[in-house]
Amino acid sequence: MYDIIVIGGGPAGLTAALYARRANKSVLVIEKDAFGGQITHSPKVENIPGFYSLSGNEFAEKLVEQVMLQGADVESCQVLSVSDGGEYKTVKTDDGDFTCKAVIIATGTKHRMLGIENEEDFIGHGISFCAVCDGAFYKDKTVAVIGGGNSALQEAILLSKLCCKVYLIQNLDFFTGEASLSEQVKNTDNIEIMLGTVVNALHGDTDGELSKITVENTLSSQTSEIDVDGMFVAIGLVPQNEIFASLIALDERGYIKADEGCETNVRGIFVAGDCRTKKIRQVATAASDGATAALDACDYVDGR
């Protein structure tokens, strides 16, 4: 029996565990993959308060160590379901069942991938997902942005101010983002727009860093190679909330609905980080959610 079970070991979940332990609550953190979440794919991070520069792995390791030193338990297993028994909740995993008084869901999101060979190998070695996080590493270099929605257009605009050349590659013959962003992109000299085009191969240099991409025109089937220093994939995020759909309210895109205190529509079940409905998804806002969810969960456990 735990006071609080945290599902997810990224910045939101680990921050929640830290705050809950400092409030003297018994805590279990369950993570199915590597602790640290998506940030572990970033070789260099410069927007975490208090750290001038460190790798995503370093940050994750420090956070995990801090949480464990505070006395939280951790389990590496996959959550299969959560059931609400009123005063007590049951978290069923592929390694057994755990019981608690409150649950904090912090499962994050996955970046939608292109689905081409070797893509995973280049994450953190030329493939990025966040221009705000990684754009500065490509100053005065050439990059490609993949996508045509608001996120891709915004990434391209931001990168155009840092990079000497930005290829904006969209598989459709039109942008799906806002007209104002589309116009801004079209009027930016160092952005080359490639509509009706897909990336179908990635090539690395001798150090394993992305150095070239093969693109194909969807109408003519003509292929060509483009030299790039990096590629930003901006084709959407996928929340990992399917197993909670029958228990708590999700929005039309699959994100968990929550109030200001990060509580869901089910008493005693909270949510933190990228998997919830919110506007900004950054490591700082994930940590903020974790603190908020933990403090409200502690109040719930204490009957306040």
Catalytic positions: 130, 133-134
Instruction: Using alpha carbons, select from 167, 124, 120 the residue that is nearest to residue 145.
Output: 167
Distance CA 46, CA 137 (A): 10
Instruction: Let me know: does 230 contact 204? Beta carbons within 8 Å.
Output: no
Instruction: Let me know: does 188 contact 157? Beta carbons within 8 Å.
Output: yes
Task: Dump strand ranges (E) for 66-196.
Answer: 73-76, 79-84, 89-93, 96-105, 109-111, 127-128, 142-146, 165-169, 191-194
User: How far from the centroid of its chain's Cα atoms is residue 161's Cα?
Assistant: 24
Instruction: Using alpha carbons, select from 263, 238, 294, 242 the residue that is nearest to residue 81.
Output: 242
Largest CA distance in the chain: 66
User: Rounded to 5 degrees, what are φ and ψ at 117?
Assistant: -60, 140
User: How far from the centroid of its chain's Cα atoms is residue 164's Cα?
Assistant: 27
Distance CA 174, CA 67 (A): 47
Tokens 């394993």 correspond to what residue? 208
